[in-house]
Amino acid sequence: MEIYLDNSATTMVAPEVREEMLAALGEAYGNPSSLHKKGSDAELMMKKAKERVAQPLKADPKEIYFTSGGTEANNLALLGSARAKKRLGNHVIISAVEHPSVSAAADELAREGFRVTRLGTDSRGLVSPDELEAALSPETVLVSVMGVNNEVGAREPVEEIGRRIKAYSNKILFHVDAVQAYGKFRLNPKRDGIDLLSASGHKIHGPKGIGFLYIRDKVRIEPIIYGGEQQKGIRSGTENMPGIVGLGKAAELAYTNFDKKIAALYELKEFFQNGLENLDNVRVNGPRERELSAPHIVSATFPGVRSEVLLHALEDKGIYASAGSACSSHKKTVSPTLHAIGLSDELAGSTLRFSLSHYTQREELEATLAALSELLPLLRRFTRK
């Protein structure tokens, strides 16, 4: 039996998504910028996808810009907005637990002369709105805080952060990396003071290589890709039509029977967390309250066992998890997120992430707990020798 518990890295493509993508590949092969019927057919499909993506956000489809994924969307949000506002100030605020596509973009802004403030978190991985508010200054032009942390599942207080930012100044832009939040929560950028919001198709059972950036109407942003005038010149390049169609369908599916699916996910997650805590010497990381945590991410530390060793031992049993963010799993440095929540290098190096989806079955989690119960004593005994 194969048990896939790495859905925060990527999800399987839903069958319904695959069908619509195949139809787009076979029939709607026109370029949406072309003026003939094939072009207009493709343009109509792109318009439908924008409507599907925008609807859960209560956004105007015209505020949706398709990208190659979450990384490009985050780069466009940070680099494009900060550069556009450089005359007004040079201060940017992010959290210490952001995805590398945000933290690395902030590093680039620092090289360009921006002052970057990185906010710490508490032991659960949550940013303090009070600390963020205290960091705001007349020079602040952009704040970027993720909706859900991709490693420990902490749901950041973006609604309160947005309120604090806009109470301080309406001129400060607020970006939310919602790659792990879109499809898991009901998001409302206009209500919550969010000017820019990023998401990715392959986290919600859509295809890889497609994502989007929501840009609130009248927010000015500089492009980071030049050439064509597609998507109002904000994101040049011929649109990935099969990917766009797939993303649109995945978004529609994610918010169909939403409350029932999310409640079931939380139940599975809590069952698994309780089972992990019943194992000998295992620590579960991140918030436990539903209102403070995502329904699909479980982080656990297994003292005395290196994460790579445990990963491969589980893989030998057909169980797939991860040692953290897939985008940073090849790096030798310790995760900034695990440092931020107070884990030592040793404990961070003994931490795994398990991430669920709507396809995950309770029996799969029971089998995983049984495998861990068997493996941990053996691996710890081997380590002590």
CA distances to 24, 97, 98, 127, 244 from 340, rounded to whole Å, are 44, 7, 11, 10, 36
CA angle centred on 195, ends 150 and 152, rounded to 5°:
10
Beta bridge partners of 115: 91
Strands 196-200 and 115-119: unpaired
Tabulate helix, strand, coil % of the chain (nearest 5).
45, 15, 40
Q: 15-21: which pairs have CB atoms within 8 A and are 24 or more residues apart?
A: 16/249, 16/253, 17/205, 17/206, 17/207, 17/246, 17/249, 17/250, 17/253, 18/246, 20/245, 20/246, 20/248, 20/249, 21/207, 21/242, 21/243, 21/245, 21/246, 21/249
**With the C-alpha atoms ordered 367, 265, 193, 240, is the resulting torsion angle positive or negative?**
positive
- CA gap 286, 262 in Å, rounded: 18
Phi and psi dihedrals of 300, rounded to 5?
Answer: -140, 145
Any idea which residues carry the catalytic annotation? 327
- CA gap 215, 59 in Å, rounded: 10
